Each structure stands twice: as structure tokens, then as C-alpha cells.
Amino acid sequence: MKCGDVYLHICDHLDEDINSERCRQIRQHLAGCPHCTEYLKSLKQTITLYRALPPPRIPAGTHRELFKTISTLTTKAAAGTPKRGRKTRKA
Ligand SMILES: [Zn+2]
């Protein structure tokens, strides 16, 4: 197993049965790779911090605006760059 494989599967590793073949391979790699060990450590720290935080509260209005903005942006991105000089709104 290479570092790239560890990065790919490390998230599963956190939830997966620790005795599975893949987890054993990951553990084996981690034992000899300080880079991946460090990576896993920071990943676990991030998850711990994230879980310690209360769930975010977004006001309903902000939530709607956010989704409107996202859908507008994705629609624009899907339609491509608009042509220059073309007015879409009346002044
Ligand atoms: Zn590694």
C-alpha cells in the first residue's frame, strides 16, 4: 500500500471494522510512514473538533438566499460565460 492509497481509504478506515484487510494494510503502512501518521493524526483532530462544535444555525431567510445564490451560480456556470455587451436587465 502506498501513501496515496492510504489517503484514499483513510476516511473509511476511521469508521470501518479495524480488523478488515484494508485497515490492516493501512495500519501496517502507518507503522512505517511518519507522513501518513501525521496526516491521520490531524484528520482525527479535525473530526474531534468538528464533533465538539454545536451544529450551525442558519436563519431560514439566509438559508433560502444561500440556495438561491448557489443555484444561480451553478446555472450561470452551466450556461457558460455570458456574452459581453448583452444587457439582461433594464436600467
Ligand atoms: Zn504513507
Q: pLDDT at residue 4 above 70? A: yes
The 3-state DSSP class for residue 88 equals: coil
- The whole model's pTM is what? 0.50
Span 57-82, average pLDDT: 84
Residue ranges of alpha helices (H) inside the chain are 3-15, 21-32, 34-52, 60-79
- Separation of 9 CA from ligand 1 center, angstroms? 12
- Separation of 24 CA from ligand 1 center, angstroms? 14
Span 33-56, average pLDDT: 89
Per-residue pLDDT tens digits for 8-43: 787 666 666 777 888 888 889 999 999 999 998 998
pLDDT score for 83 = 60
pLDDT score for 38 = 93
Residue of higher predicted confidence among 83 and 43: 43
- Separation of 16 CA from ligand 1 center, angstroms? 19
Q: In whole numbers, what is the pLDDT of the chain averaged over residues?
A: 82
The neighbour count for residue 30, using CB atoms within 10 Å, is 20
